[in-house]
Amino acid sequence: MKNAFVKFICCCLLLLISVSKALALSEEEQLLLMKNFPFLYMLEPELHKLDRQPACFERVRKRLELAAQEALHCKTAACFSSTLQFTKGEIDSLGDDLVSLVLGNKQIKKLVHTIKDGGPYPLFKKESDAIFVRKAWEADAKGINYVLGIYIEGRAPLYPKIDSISFSKDDPAFRDSVAAGLNKVIKNRSTVFFSIPILFTLEALRLNGRNEAARYEPLIKKENAAAYNRSKKIKWKSYPYSVILVPGLGPEQPEVKLDPGSARRCDSAVIRYRAGKAPFIVVSGGHVHPFKTPYCEAIEMKKYLVEVLHIPAEAVIIEPHARHTTTNLRNTNRIIYQFKMPTDKPVLIVTDPGQNTYINGAMHNKVIKELGYTPYTAIKKLSANESEYLPSENSKQINSLEPLDP
């Protein structure tokens, strides 16, 4: 499994070059596509190599190209979104052709196996190739429609208070910015059928200042580089836990960098760290509260741990993307798998009594509803502010309906 994951990562790194050449994308744009729509991101270069595109691909491509030209005359931003989303019928028909293509093309089938074995769709990996392809495609397509619906059309997201559109959807100036963005997409599109909608999602996120998913990446080469290198030398048998997880608490006041509640959680975590419970503290939380805050919970908690509590910087791992308690756990698991930490060793959560009660109670139904799985195979409350759990590989599954932290 580790070899499959490494193979998948290497394939992604190679694609950073090939996709960049094909679409002239910045590194940030490539990261946003790779994290939000990994199946289509990896498939795109292979589709370019085909001598002949399937009939449905060409039909949808032409429909979208014509729709994009006509949309430049839209009077409202919502018009752009509805015109350039995939229809239910198109999603079904394109899924049929994708399945036929994968089953009949050895090179693309090989790529699908790479994605399937080590990639971000573990919930689908036990399926046949045909079903896997259809489910991965549908997840990415629905994600594209979702981004356009929220950040162009102005529909309400699951968490409106923190994830909503940044403009009034009826603002003429916003409409003009959307038109300019679409015109840029038209000039930069490729011949692949999903080129215009997927590039338009980048424009939607850019216009709204919503590049959270790409911020601080790649973590193991930047903020987490020292911890990553140190993790290779850890004698894991010396510790009962792999990491101590501290979920962030976002302040509601714009000028506050670190909520006092987050500081108290860090204080509690340090007691466990100095007692030798784990070699690392993971601080988890993104740019969440208040709306579009410039401050990242994880970054501010690390500063507090290192500068105030004098914890070695290489012992603190940041997870700067989570926007909810459920993804505090999920994203920490992704780090554990990426760092190749022992996954049979539990994670120790240190927080306040209120969140700890939630984690062991109401969160279960919420995480099933929002993620489709639990990011743990077992979870146990140890004390008023401590819990432990075993990470689940399902945590690698992308959430196409959470573009700020897929």
Q: Are 189 and 224 members of one domain?
A: no
Residue 118's pLDDT is: 77
Six token digits for residue 33? 């596509």
**pLDDT of 364 higher than 90:** yes
Mean pLDDT of the chain: 94
Tell me which of 170, 187, 213 is where a domain ends: 213
Residue 17 pLDDT exceeds 60: no
Residues 313 and 382 in one domain: yes
| 49: in domain | yes
349 beta partners = 245, 387
This prediction has a pTM of 0.93
Is residue 138 in some structural domain?
A: yes
Confidence of residue 24 (pLDDT cuts 50, 70, 90): confident
Domain range spanning residue 163? 2-213
Is residue 385 in a domain?
A: yes
Q: 21 pLDDT exceeds 50?
A: no
Query: Do 254 and 291 meet the contact criterion of CB atoms below 8 Å apart?
Result: no
> What tens digit of pLDDT does each residue of 99-136 get?
999 999 999 999 999 999 878 999 999 999 999 999 99
Question: What CATH number did the domain enclosing 269 receive?
Answer: 3.40.50.620
Q: CB atoms < 10 A from the CB of 271, how many?
A: 11
Mean pLDDT along residues 266-278: 98
Q: Which residue has the higher pLDDT, 23 or 378?
A: 378
DSSP 307: I
- How many domains is the chain built from? 2
pLDDT at 3: 52
- Six-digit token string for 345: 């060793």
pLDDT tens for each residue of 159-184:
999 999 999 988 999 999 999 999 99
Sequence-distant (6+) residues with CB within 8 A of 169 are 76, 77, 78, 153, 154
> Among residues of the chain, what percentage have pLDDT more than 90?
92
| Tokens matching residue 218 | 């790649």
In a domain, 406, yes or no: no
- Is residue 175 domain-shared with residue 275, that is, in the same domain? no
Residue 190 falls within a domain, yes or no? Answer: yes
35 and 142 share one domain? yes
pLDDT at 23: 64
